[in-house]
A and B are shown apart, each in its own frame.
Chain A
Amino acid sequence: MFRRAPLLMTVLLFGYAFLYGPILSLMVYSFNESRLVTVWGGFSTKWYSELLHNEQILGAAWLSIKIAAINASASVVLGTLAAVALVRYRRFRGRTSLEIMVTAPMVLPDVIIGLSLLLLFVSMQTLIGWPAGRGQTTITLAHITFSMAYVTVVVRSRLAHMDRSLEEAALDLGARPLKVFFAITLPIIAPALVAGWLLAFTLSMDDLVIASFVSGPGATTLPMVVYSSVRLGVSPQINALATLIVVIVAIAVAIAGVLLYRQEKGSNSRKE
C-alpha cells in the first residue's frame, strides 16, 4: 500500500491523526495517575472512581440523559408528523412556511436559537405563567425545537422513498387511514424512526450553547458542568467522563449507522 501511493497514505494518516488524536489522548490521560493533565504518572482508574462519587457530575449526567430521552421521543413523534404532512399532503395552507420552519433550526446558529427561545420563554412566563421559571422543562422544549428538524429530514427521506401503492393496497383491502398508518406505514419507516431517535438523543447530549441560554438555577446539564469545570482548571475526572461519553455516543452512532445501512439495503433489494 505504502509503495503504491505514499503521498495518499501520508495524507490519510495525518487525517486520522487530526480527527482521532485529541480524542485518543483524552482517553489515555483519563487513566493517568497524576493530578496534572499534562504529566503522565502511571496507569490508574482512580479518576473513574472519583467521578462515581462526584454528586454534581452524576446529577448533571442524569439530568442530561433524562432531557435527551424525553427530547428524542417527543422529536420522533413531532418530526414524523411533520414528515408525513410534507410528503403525503402535496398542497395545504402553510406548506411553505412549515418547510422553512422545519429546516430553519438546522441552519440557524445555536446562539440565535438559544437567545430567541430564551426571549420566548421569558415573555411566555409573563403572559401565561408557563413555563414557570427556566430549568429542565425549558431545556427540553428548546432541544425538541431543533432535534425535531433533524428527525423530520431523516423520516421524510424514508417516507419519500416508500412505495405509495403499499398504503393504497392497505386502503383497498379495507383498512381505514389511521389503521393503514399504524399497520403499514409505521413498520416500514421504523428504521428511520429509530435512527431519528438516536440522532435526537445525541444532539441533546451534545448541546451546550442552547442549554446555557434557556436553563435556570438548579438545572445544569452535563456539557454545562464540563465546560464550567474546565474553566476552573481541568481535573482528570473530566477526561474520565469524556471517555465514557465518547464510548456511549460512538455506540449510539454505530447503531444508527447500521440501521440506516440496513434500511438502504432493504429499499434497494425491493427495487430489483
Chain B
Amino acid sequence: MTQTSPAPGAADTASTTASVRLEGISKSFGNSYAVNNVSLDIQQGEFFSLLGPSGCGKTTLLRMLAGFETPDRGRVLIDGQDMTLVPPYERPVNMMFQSYALFPHMSVADNIAFGLKQTPMARGARNLRVTEMMELVQISPLAKRKPHQLSGGQRQRVALARALARHPRILLLDEPLGALDKKLREKTQFELVNIQERLGTTFIVVTHDQEEAMTMSSRIALMRDGQIEQLDAPRRLYEFPVTRYAASFIGSINLFEARVLQQNGDEVRLSCDEAGADLLVRSSEKMLPGMALTLAVRPEKVRLLSPGEQSPNLVRGRIKEIAYLGGISIYHAELPSGKQVQFTQSNVQALAEQPLSWGQDVLLGWHPDSCSVLTE
C-alpha cells in the first residue's frame, strides 16, 4: 500500500543520515487513531510535505515531531537520536504555526530574538542574528512594529524568521501559506523554496493544498485516515498514483474499470466495457488474465484524434460539456456506455478554425505509457 521511492542521491545512506526517522508511530485520541503505524525517513535538506485532507493525521504527526504530542507507540528519531519523550524546548526543531502565534506584546525584533534569548549568547551576536533574519525574509523596516500593525503576509515572514533564528536542524511548517490570498501564496511558495535551498535546513510542511505540495516539495507523503497512502516525488505521485485515492486526490483523472486479457512482456491488454474497446497499458507487474483493475488516465494525456487516425487506446464519444479556462479548455465527452471522459486542450490559437462544439462526435486516444494501473 505504501510505495517508497528514496530521495535523489540519498538512497543507500538513508539508514545512517536520516534527518528524521519515524518508527511505527501511532497516536489515538479517544477511540480513533489520529496516526496509525506510520514509519518514514526524511533526509537532511529535503523539502518534505505531508499532504492530506483535514483529519488525516498530518498535523498530529507534525506536533509529535515538535514535541507537543507524545506517540502512544513508536519512536521519533532526529539525527539518529531518540526524541520520543524529549520536551519541545530541548529539540533541535522549530515550528512555524498556522496562526503564526506571534507574541502580541513584543515587537517584530523581540519576537525574532525570543528564541535566541533562551540560550546563552552575547547581545551583539544576538542582534546581528536578528538583523540577518529580518534581511533574509525582507522585513528589516518593520523591526519596531507590533504584530497587530502588520499585514498577513508580513506576519507570515516574521513567523518564518522567528522559527529560523535558532538555526534549527529541521523546520516544521503548519499550513504556512494557508492564511494568505492566492497571489501572495504563489509568490511566497517560491520564496520558501529559495530560503530552504539557501539554508539547507530540512523543511517539513503540512498542507491540504495539493498544488502547494506539488510546487514546493522534493517528496510528498499523501496521508489518509492516519496512514501514508503514497510517498513519492511530486511527479511520480501525479503520473503514477498507486491507489484510487491517490489518483483522485491530486488533480483530476479518468478511471476505467477493466479486466486483464493477456500480458506480453510489459504490455498488458485489457478489456473494458466502460470504454467500449480493448485497451493497452504498460506495466511490469505480473498480471493474471481475468484480474480486475482500474486504469487511470489524466485528462491532459487524452488526445483528440483526427478522423482515421489510429491509437492503441481508442474510444469514441460525444462532447457533453465545455469549460473554457483561458489557457486551456476542459471537455467532457460521453462514451456509448454512458461513461464520461474528461480531456483538456491547450488553446494554442486565439480563434480556433474549427472549435469543438456541444454534441460533436470525437475520437479520443492516449499512449499506453501515459496511463497507470491501480490495483486498489
Contacts and interface: CB of A to CB of B under 8 A. Distances in A.
B105 A165 contact: no
Nearest to A179: B118
Contact of B105 (A169, A179, A188): A188
A266 B104 CA distance: 9
Given A166-B103, A168-B97, A184-B103, A173 B115 contact: yes
A91 interface: no
Contact of A171 (B87, B148, B162): B87
B101 A165 contact: yes
Nearest to A164: B101
Interface in B99-127: 99, 101, 103-105, 114-115, 118-119
* Among B90, B115, B119, residue most surrounded by chain A Cβ atoms (within 10 Å): B115
Contacts of B190: none
Contacts of B98: 165
A161 to B, nearest CB: 12
A179 B117 CA distance: 11
A3 interface: no
Interface in A215-267: 266
* Among A168, A172, A270, residue most surrounded by chain B Cβ atoms (within 10 Å): A172
Interface residues of B, number: 25
Contacts of B88: 168, 171-172
Interface string B78-107: 000000000111100111011101011100
A269 B162 contact: no
Contacts of A169: 95, 97, 101, 103, 162
Interface in B49-68: 66-68
A50 interface: no
Contacts, number: 65
B166 interface: yes
Contact of A176 (B89, B97, B162): B89
A250 B94 CA distance: 48
A174 interface: yes
Q: How large is the interface on A (under 10, 10 to 19, 20 to 34, 35 or more residues)?
A: 20 to 34
B70 to A, nearest CB: 14
A65 interface: no
A175 interface: yes
Interface in A130-180: 163, 165-166, 168-176, 179
Interface in A9-27: none
A174 B148 contact: no
A168 B89 CA distance: 9
Nearest to B68: A168
A187 B111 CA distance: 14
Contacts of B87: 171
Interface string A190-206: 00000000000000000
A234 to B, nearest CB: 50
B53 to A, nearest CB: 21
Contacts of B163: 172-173
Contact of B166 (A168, A173, A176, A188): A173
Q: Is the interface of A mostly helix, strand, loop or mixed?
A: helix
B333 to A, nearest CB: 47
A170 B67 CA distance: 13
Contact of B104 (A165, A183, A188): A188
Given A184-B103, A269-B148, A270-B104, A173 B97 contact: no
Contact of A187 (B90, B105, B119, B162): B105
Contacts of A269: 148
Given A174-B89, A175-B114, A165 B162 contact: no
B313 to A, nearest CB: 51
Contacts of A163: 99, 101
A168 B101 contact: yes
B101 A166 contact: yes
Given A269-B148, A270-B148, A175 B89 contact: yes
Contacts of B119: 174
Nearest to B174: A165
Contacts of A184: 103
Nearest to A167: B101
Interface in A105-128: none
B71 to A, nearest CB: 17
A174 B87 CA distance: 9
Interface in B308-342: none
Given A179-B118, A188-B104, A172 B99 contact: no
Nearest to A171: B88
Nearest to B147: A270
A269 B115 CA distance: 25
B153 to A, nearest CB: 14
Contacts of A175: 89, 114, 118
Contact of B89 (A165, A171, A183, A270): A171
A179 B119 CA distance: 13
Contacts of B67: 171-172
Contacts of A168: 66, 68, 88, 95, 97, 101
* Among A170, A176, A179, A266, residue most surrounded by chain B Cβ atoms (within 10 Å): A170
Nearest to A187: B105
Contact of A174 (B68, B99, B166): B166
Given A165-B97, A270-B148, A170 B105 contact: no
Given A171-B68, A171-B87, A172-B67, 10 more contacts: A163-B99, A166-B101, A169-B162, A170-B114, A171-B67, A172-B163, A173-B118, A176-B89, A187-B105, A269-B148
Interface of B: 66-68, 87-90, 93-95, 97-99, 101, 103-105, 114-115, 118-119, 148, 162-163, 166
14 contacts: A165-B97, A168-B95, A169-B97, A169-B103, A169-B162, A171-B87, A172-B67, A173-B89, A173-B162, A174-B89, A174-B115, A175-B89, A188-B104, A270-B148
| Those 10 A-B pairs whose CB atoms lie nearest each other, nearest first | A173-B115, A174-B118, A169-B101, A165-B101, A171-B88, A187-B105, A165-B97, A174-B89, A172-B95, A166-B101
